[in-house]
Structure formats: structure tokens, C-alpha cells
Amino acid sequence: MVVAQNTRTNNPVGKSVARNDVLEKVTGGATYTDDIQFGPGLLHCRVKRSPHPHALIKKIDYSKALKLPGVKGVATGDDFPDLIGLYLKDRCFFARGKVRFVGEAVVGVVATTEEIAEAAVDLIDVEYELLTPVLDPEFGASPEAPLIHPDLGNYDHPNFIFPVANSNISNHFKIRKGDIEAAWTQCAAIVEHTFRIPHVQHVPIEPHVAVAKCEDNGQVTLWASTQSPFAQRALLAKALHIPESDFRVIAPLIGGGFGCKAGVTMEAIPVAMAMKYKGQPIKFRLTREEEFYTNFVRQGLVIKIKVGCDKEGNLLALQNRMYWDGGAYTEYGVNVTRAGGYSSTGPYDIPNVATDSICVYTNHPVGGAYRGFGMAELHTGVDQAMDMLAAKIGLDPVEFHKKNCVQGGDVLATGMVIHDVGIKECIEKVAQALDWEIKDKPSAPNKLRGKGVALAWKAPAMPPNAGSSALVKMNSDGTVTVSVGGQEIGQGTFTAMAQIAAEALGVPYENVKVSGPIDTRYSPYEWQTVASRLTWSMGNAVRNAALDARKKVLDVVAEAWGEDAKDLDIKDGYVISYKTEESVSIKDIVVYGLPKPNDGGWIGGPIVGAGSFMPSYVTGLDAETGQGNRAVVHYTTGAQGVEIEVDKETGRIEVLRAACAFDVGKAINPDMVRQQMEGGFIQGLSSALFEGCQLVDGVMRNPSFVDYRIATAADVPAEIDTFIIEHAQDDGPFGARGIGEHPLVPSIAAVAAALYDATGLRITNPPFSAEKVYLALLEAGLVE
């Protein structure tokens, strides 16, 4: 792995400056540990969960639990009737009337210790009447399927989500471009295939944990491991009828998120319990087993693709029908479906497109945000179909990708004209790194060797008005404190924000601190830490705040020196005059100001810059055709390739080397961009080779690291080449756009293509486990 070097520079943007000690960078040196002390009055919460995927709740008896010494009280869905949800308000605090997935919270218990609370949970009796579960999204979308949410037609949702009342379809996003039926008659080659992508779990090293306290005056404080403190405040306050000004969320550094800590999930439970039992803090933490199936998972997907090209290999038509397994509640999943819809072609220029992206309620765990936000699942299907089509028409896959990838000025499936992108350069870099033209020999007689390449694109999936804000405070010692509302989850965003502020203001990077923890009472607003949008959106807000502070400093000095501010600059923390060559350190002026000539008073005072950013140009899309002027703010595009060996005796895939190239607009910190490429690829490789929730009759059979394997250092290839391509984003800070999620998007498809190249077999449904590969080799007669 590339490690950031200890490089000091006066121009930090585009340089790989060292990341300061994280605690110091986030807190400005203050002591703030993860083990927040709440005193001896801390209470603990545990939950009685449903053992059934779909059932009516006939009776709840918690009388025995209340008699257990140490138990303070219980809560059920009757105590909190309002619904909550980010994009679709369909979820209860506790199950009301019926349960919809195994693990759903039915009764909450508060006690003096976690052990007593757990013992009380065992004393609660719940009587159920079993209902037929929906366990397949394609069946769930049919009229014959039992309704999981009969009230779907009454749920609140924004105007860009399209639920179908009296069905299990919580969002149906459509694209209709060109004349697809006529296009099929012009195709020289057509591929049709159905791909099935399983649910996977985020498995952050730190499970979900939250503490909530409601004061006697009704004010609520929530301490949570969260990517979305401001969204949590807004959603919970509204559902509980609390003014947002009386609801405070504090978000310390978190031990991994990958999307599972976005929005509101288990945090609603301790808040609800605290509302009922005021005056003492209440802690709720998920066990590792609960983490696997009671909270967000990545949605499963059934994707049916038909794609065709002419005899030269030019793409002519794509039909893409996706059934997203949204699980029991789809308040976040409906937007994953929308993102999959408007990006349904992948980064390919296709004149005729018909897309149906359908979010379906099932009685599986709740689908939510996962790194890539639907793009890894989508590309697993689309990119494999393109590899199949290239083989069928007789074109080299790399040449096929280069021939058909999107370029700046192309009209996308939604009618949007795409900005300048460097995806063709990405393809060329990856092919060159893998020595694509050379067919390497296997390392042993029992090995098969192959190479594969896949493309990726992703746009920030967000509402059209998701905003960011920032403050830049100048300190009397010459340092700068940056306040933001976006969260540091290990992606290095605070380092990038410090670099952006330093560059825009004109001070050394080492003099900039980013304050924390994020606290909705004091931190400036940020929509959420999701969608690979912080470098772009929050970065714009930080740059604007720094420029505001810079202008205030220069205006003060200009007035004091009797000069035009246009003749002044800030370099290395000094205000300099290009006219007189006079200079002064900012630490001498940014708090106490400067004296006027002839002892005529003072000018200036404490300097604080404020900045914000919100895109204003994203338009709505037609509900029937998906057409509009601008569907998204931008796309980050790239390519990825692998070389693998397959052991015929075991079926095990070994990745020998990998190459990743992405157009990031402008790399604010090149080393961290490369590390994102490496880490994202490894996470994508993990889902390609190992990961999948084994759901049988709605029950997850592998909710532990004993049975749910993720990639480790032993699975990482010895060689990972990374390439940064820079085609500047017109509205990005210094031209930058995000890269956090994108490197895992093409990994499954790249491995699948390499597997085909090595074996001649199409094994299309991940994970490509040793057992699955060996059985396929055996069936094909490739092993004895």
C-alpha cells in the first residue's frame, strides 16, 4: 500500500501531504475518546426481535420482564406510531401490527445492565400468526405476491420516487430512449442473460452503537456512530414531534461505515426509549450477529439484460430490467433503485435504451446504502454482458470498451449531456499495466490463467438540493480552525478539507486544524457523509469559506496600508504587497486587527469566513421516460483489470495482479486517492470471491465471521497498479470530484471476465467461491 509521505508544501492541493495524527486533526488537540463516560446512571437497552420473516403480532406479554429486578421499563410500537424514513416514510420504531423480517425489533427493554436487559427480553412472550413470506424480488413484483405494505400508497415520499400502490413495488424508475424494437433488427449480435447478485453485509469493524438522553424539559441528545448526524436530527425530530432546535446529535469518529451508518437505523430505538424514560442516558449497541441481519444490508439484485451491437461492434440497444430486493423496508433502497435506473447503461454510449429499475419489498433484511450505492450490482450485470457481446461479435474486450465508452458531449440515456471524462485513458492505462496483448502461461500444470477488464461510473446519488456549509476561523497564533458537518470515516476527508482551506487561504497546511466531533448544535450543516460527494460538495463550501476569510483579511490590510486589495496576496501565512513589497504575518492581524494611521483607532477584528455550496442545476426526470436536462451533478468514471490463476484441483482463484485507473477531476491528495483505489478494489474483490448473505426462508444462516468470510491480507495481490487521470470538474474545488466508492464498482465484473478468459466458462453469479468454480470445471469436463 502507498503511504503518504511527510511532505510540507506551500501549495498543498494536488500534493500528498502527511495526515496529521487523526485525533489532533479532528479535535485540535483536545482529548476526546470513543469511550465517552456517561456516569453511573447509564442505562442499557436490548430488543426482543422477530423470529419470523412475515407474521401478524397477535399478543405481546411483557409482564414477567417488568418484574425482573433492574428493569426500568419497556416500549412497543404502540408507544411510537409515527413512521420514519429518508426517501420513503415506511418504517416504524418498533413493529406495529405485524413483523416483516427476521430480526425486526418488536419490544425494547431498558435496564440497569445489558445482561439484565437481555434476561428481560427472554421473559417477553409474543404470539404470532404466520403469513406467507415474499423471498424473491421478481415474484414480489408480481400481482400474485402477498402485500407486505398494504398502506404503501399512503406513504410520504419526494416527487422523484415512484411507488406503485397496492403492490410490493416501492419505486419503479423507467428510461425510454430511442426506438429499441427497431434497433434489435439492426443488430448483428445480441446477448441476453439474467444475473443474480446476492445480499452482502458491510461488516464495519465497529458495530452500531448509540446513546440517547432526554432531559426533563424534552431536549434530546444522541451520541451515535453515524455518517448522517444532521439527517438523523431532522428525521427523528420530525417523527417524534420535537423541534430540531431541541434535538442534538453528536458524532464522534467512527470505526467504519461503508453506508450502513447512513440515515437512521438502530439509533431510533435508544432515542425512543429515552423519550419514554427521561433523565438518564440509555445505551444500545448491536452484537456482531445483530450487525449482520438486523440493520442495513446491500440489496440483492436480479438483473435481466439484453444488449446488441452492429457488425463493427458499435452498441445499438440495451434493455435492462432490474428487480432490487429491497427487503422489508425500502426507505433508503428506493433511491438505490433510482441511481441504478439513471445509470443503467453503465459508462457506455447506447442510442436506444429501455430500463425498468424496480425496488421490491421482500421479507428479507432491510436494504440500504452500501459503498457504491447499487453500482457494483449494476455493473456486475452490465459489464459481464458487454464482455459476452464482445466475444460474440469477435472483438477484443479492451477494443470493444474503447469503441463504446462514453465521451464528453455524449447524450446519456436520460438526455443529459455528459461533461468531459477520461475513461478511455483509464482503459488504456489498465490494459498497458496488465500487458493485455501478452497471454501469460500458467505457473503450474494444474493452473489456468486469464485476464479481465471492466468499466465503472458512478454519480453522487442524492436529492437535487443536498447542501454543504463550512466555517473558517482565524486564530491569533496564525493557525486556522475549519468547522464542517461532514464525517471522517477513515476516507481522509478532514485531511482533504485542510488542504483545500490552506490552498484557498494561503497558509501552510500544517497550520490548519479541522474541529470535531461533529455536533449538530455547533457544526455547520452537511446533508450526509455519503455518495462520494464530500470532496466536491463540502470541499466547495470549505473553499468558499476560506476565500471569504481571505477577502476579509486583505480588505483590512488594504485599508490600513492605503492600498488596493487587488495588489495584496497571502502567501505562507503572510500578507504581502506586490506594490510596496511590505509584508505582515496574519497572526498579528486576524484577531486584534490593525491600527489606523496617526493613532486614529483600529480596523478589523476577529476574522471568520463562512461558505456554503448547493448545486442548482439538477432537474427532474419524466416518470415514464426518465428524460430530463440534467439527471445528476457529474460522473466519476474509470476502469479496472485483473490477472488471475484458477487451481483446477480446488477451484480457488488467486488474483496475481490488478490495475485501477479513475478520472478524479483533480487529485487533492494523490496518495489518498491511490489508497482509495487499492482499498475499494480489495473490498470489491472480497464480494467477488467470498461474500454473500445465505438467506434461507428469510433467515440468515451465516451471521458471523466464522461463516461469512471477507478478504484478508492473504487474498490481496502482490501487485496493484493505480493511475490517476485528471479531467477537471467544472464546478469542483480546484477541479476535484469524488473517488471513495468507485474502485469497488467494477471488481466483480473484472474477475468474472478473467475467469472466462482462463476457463472458457461463464460463471456469472457471485461470489465465485472455490466450490462454485470447481463444480463448474467438473461439470465442463475440465478436471478429472
pLDDT digits 0-9 by tens, 520-554: 999 999 999 999 999 999 999 999 999 999 999 99
Q: Which residues of 36-56 are buried (b: 16+ CB within 10 A; e: fewer)?
A: eeeeeebbbbbbbbbebbbbe
Pair 56, 85: CB distance under 8 Å: no
Handedness of CA 52, 53, 58, 64 (dihedral sign): positive
What is d(CA 610, CA 206) in angstroms, rounded to the nearest whole number?
34
Q: Quick check: is 736 in a domain?
A: yes
Over the range 114-127, which residues count as b (16 or more CB within 10 Å of their CB) and which as e? bebbebbbebbebe
Cα(776)–Cα(646) distance, integer angstroms: 12
367 plus 270 within the same structural domain: no
Q: Is 7's pLDDT higher than 90?
A: no
The beta-strand segments (E) located in 138-245 are 169-177, 189-197, 209-214, 220-224
Known catalytic residue at 741: yes
User: Do 602 and 515 share a structural domain?
Assistant: yes
Residue 186 lies in a domain: no
pLDDT(31) > 50: no
Last residue of a domain, which of 257, 285, 313?
A: 285
- Mean pLDDT for the stretch of residues 295-313: 98
Q: What is the pLDDT of residue 16?
A: 77
- For residue 784, the model assigns a pLDDT of 78
Tell me, yes or no, whether 259 and 271 share the same domain. yes
Is 470 in the same domain as 336? no
Find the mean pLDDT for residues 418-422.
Answer: 98
Residues 511 and 451 in one domain: no
193 inside domain: no
Confidence band of 14 (pLDDT split at 50, 70, 90): confident
Whether residue 738 is found in the same domain as residue 595 = no
The reply to whether 608 and 490 lie within a common domain is: yes
Q: What is the CATH number of the domain that holds 80?
A: 3.90.1170.50
Separation between Cα atoms, residue 472 and residue 505, nearest integer Å? 9
**pLDDT band, residue 18 (cuts 50/70/90):** low
Residue 297 and residue 367 in contact, taking contact as beta carbons nearer than 8 Å: yes
Judge if 636 and 756 occupy the same domain.
Answer: yes
> Which domain does 646 fall in, by range?
300-407+418-462+620-779
Q: Are both 472 and 455 inside the same structural domain?
A: no
Asked if residue 173 belongs to a domain, the reply is no
Last residue of a domain, one of 285, 319, 347: 285
Model confidence band, residue 284 (pLDDT cutoffs 50, 70, 90)? very high
| 604 and 674 part of one domain | no
* One domain, residues 481 and 581: yes
**Would you say residue 182 lies in a domain?**
no
Pair (315, 400) in one structural domain: yes
Determine which one of 291, 645, 691, 741 is catalytic.
741
The Cα–Cα gap between 732 and 754 comes to: 35
Is residue 294 included in any domain, yes or no? no
- 3-class DSSP assignment, residue 721: strand
List, for residues 217-270, the tens digit of each pLDDT value. Answer: 999 999 999 999 999 999 999 999 999 999 999 999 888 999 999 999 999 999
- Residue 10: its pLDDT value, please? 40
In a domain, 202, yes or no: no
Residue 412 belongs to a domain: no
Query: What is the domain-level CATH number for residue 561?
Result: 3.30.365.10
Phi, psi of 252 (to 5 degrees): -70, 175
**C-alpha cell, 510:** 500544517
pLDDT of residue 690: 98
Q: Which of 577, 593, 613 is the last residue of a domain?
A: 613
Mean pLDDT of the chain: 95
Domain count, the chain: 3
